[in-house]
């Protein structure tokens, strides 16, 4: 690779990331340039964060104006932009109230706390939450305990108690596992498991799960950190199944690169937190709220929900057509611009090989190439993406078969 091994020159940074030796200097649209001037097509988008791509002119102008006006005050005071963003998010989701934080981890922690307090308020002293195999909800002690990945949990025991794990898309299993447990108060899941390999919850299963929650008085908590904010072609992933959750968590794409997290709650859960039960120093600050307001406005005005659906389908169709019959290709799946290409072999090396070819992507669940490009990507750019990626995968799989 043309970029020098940067980590060797950064001994003061904790070695928590297995970084590629690349540093970026600037971006425009779906493109990034590194410090050596090399150009990359960004199909990673900061891991589904940069909704509007890089240096979107309207977004940049709005943030510049806001920085010159007000960045942070405190939640001791009213924040007008919080009210604006909360009103828009609740209108889009069908929920009623919003809490703002800065990250998806914080949002998921807040959901867990809501569920626990919901249980305590009903007299359940050790409330439990149903979670799923292969789920990913974060890396704090509570969220990694809810996560279904032993690698994430390794070395951090004892785990937080209170989670009951079940397989996805198996309504009989969840009924059987929880039938004699009166301490279950909620179920928490991703409609598409992002870190787990782009595995989708089936619409019929979600409708049956909603009915089960209603029957047993459970809260339905949906982690929309990766699927929310138009990523799947609807504002929220749960909307594909026609269900209404009680609480959802948001982050990643909500601020188009500015850290923003949110929890949206409906009538069953919106009143659980009282003053002093929860908070966030940076959550809901004016800059982050402006980023959220502008992100939603630009998505709507630019037709990016329809674009996510159309371009995502185009990419999946082309990849499927070009790789069909290739030894080692399993399938391509996903919704909108959340796409997973599963191979029969561990393929972590593809991340570096793709970067050498000028394409940014990630590999998740060991064998799944993940594509989460900015929602502004055009069909021509999508064709460039496929034109780089498919030959890479073909060469990679041919070498594995040799």
d(CA 231, CA 365): 20
Active-site choice (136, 163, 282, 396) = 136
Q: Is 136 within any annotated ligand binding site?
A: yes
Active-site choice (34, 42, 223, 246) = 223
Active-site choice (163, 236, 252, 273) = 252
d(CA 257, CA 216): 39
Q: Is 293 within any annotated ligand binding site?
A: no
Closest CA to 18 of 2, 27, 4, 7: 7
User: What is the arrangement of strands in the sheet containing 97-101, beginning at the earlier edge strand?
Assistant: 97-101, 261-265, 247-250, 219-223, 184-189, 128-132, 163-166
Q: Is 290 within any annotated ligand binding site?
A: no
d(CA 285, CA 295): 15
The gap from C-alpha 294 to its chain's centroid, in whole angstroms, comes to 19
Residue 49 DSSP SS3: coil
Q: Is 25 within any annotated ligand binding site?
A: no
Q: Is 136 a catalytic residue?
A: yes
Q: Is 223 within any annotated ligand binding site?
A: yes
Residue 72 DSSP SS3: coil
Beta strands in 92-218 (DSSP E): 97-101, 128-132, 163-166, 184-189, 192-193, 199-200
Q: Is 113 a catalytic residue?
A: no
Q: Is 204 within any annotated ligand binding site?
A: no
Question: Does residue 263 contact residue 111 with C-beta atoms inside 8 Å?
Answer: yes
Estimate the share of the chain in helix, then strand, then coil, as percent rounded to the nearest 5. Answer: 40, 20, 40
Q: Is 193 within any annotated ligand binding site?
A: no
Strands 31-34 vs 24-28: parallel, antiparallel or unpaired:
antiparallel
d(CA 267, CA 118): 12
Q: Is 252 a catalytic residue?
A: yes
Q: Is 164 within any annotated ligand binding site?
A: no
The residues, any chain, with a CB within 8 Å of residue 7's CB and separated by 6 or more, are 13, 15, 19, 21
Question: Does residue 234 contact residue 245 with C-beta atoms inside 8 Å?
Answer: no
Question: Would you state the structure tokens that stand for residue 140, as one six-digit string?
Answer: 């704090």
Question: Does residue 221 contact residue 231 with C-beta atoms inside 8 Å?
Answer: no
Question: Would you state the structure tokens that stand for residue 135, as one six-digit string?
Answer: 């789920």
Closest CA to 35 of 2, 76, 84: 2
Known binding-site positions for N(2)-acetyl-L-ornithine:
139, 280
Q: Which residues are catalytic?
A: 136, 223, 252
Known binding-site positions for pyridoxal 5'-phosphate:
136, 223-226, 281
Known binding-site positions:
136, 139, 223-226, 280-281
């Amino acid at each position: 690779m043309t970029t020098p091994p940067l980590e060797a020159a950064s001994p003061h940074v904790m070695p928590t990331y297995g970084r590629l030796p690349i540093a970026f200097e600037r971006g425009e649209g779906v493109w990034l340039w590194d410090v050596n001037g090399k150009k990359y097509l960004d199909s990673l988008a900061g891991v589904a964060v940069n909704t509007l791509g890089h240096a979107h002119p309207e977004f940049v102008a709005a943030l510049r104006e806001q920085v010159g006006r007000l960045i942070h005050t405190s939640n001791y005071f009213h924040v007008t932009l919080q009210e604006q963003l909360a009103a828009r998010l609740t209108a889009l989701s069908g929920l009623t109230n919003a809490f703002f934080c800065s990250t998806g981890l914080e949002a998921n922690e807040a959901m867990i706390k809501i569920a626990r307090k919901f249980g305590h308020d009903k007299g359940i002293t050790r409330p439990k939450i149903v979670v799923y195999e292969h789920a990913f909800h974060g890396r704090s002690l509570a969220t990694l305990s809810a996560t279904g990945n032993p690698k994430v949990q390794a070395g951090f025991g004892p785990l937080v108690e209170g989670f009951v794990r079940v397989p996805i898309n198996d309504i009989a299993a969840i009924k059987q596992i929880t039938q004699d447990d009166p301490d279950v108060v909620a179920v928490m899941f991703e409609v598409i498991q992002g870190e787990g390999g782009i595995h989708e919850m089936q619409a019929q299963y979600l409708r049956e799960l909603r009915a089960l929650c209603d029957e047993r008085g459970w809260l339905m908590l949906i982690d929309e950190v990766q699927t929310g904010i138009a990523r799947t072609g609807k504002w929220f992933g749960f909307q594909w199944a026609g269900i209404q959750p009680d609480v959802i968590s948001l982050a990643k794409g909500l601020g188009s690169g500015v850290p923003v997290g949110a929890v949206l709650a409906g009538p069953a859960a919106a009143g659980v937190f009282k003053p002093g039960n929860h908070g966030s120093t940076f959550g809901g600050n004016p800059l982050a709220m402006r980023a959220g307001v502008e992100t939603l406005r630009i998505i709507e005005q630019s037709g990016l929900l329809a674009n996510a659906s159309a371009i995502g389908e185009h990419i999946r169709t082309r990849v499927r057509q070009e790789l069909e019959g290739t030894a080692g290709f399993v399938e391509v799946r996903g919704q909108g611009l959340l796409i997973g290409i599963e191979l029969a072999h561990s393929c972590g090396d593809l991340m570096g090989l793709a970067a050498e070819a000028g394409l940014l992507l990630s590999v998740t669940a060991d064998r799944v190439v993940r594509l989460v490009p900015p929602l502004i990507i055009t069909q021509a750019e999508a064709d460039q993406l496929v034109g780089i990626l498919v030959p890479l995968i073909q060469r990679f799989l041919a070498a594995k078969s040799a």
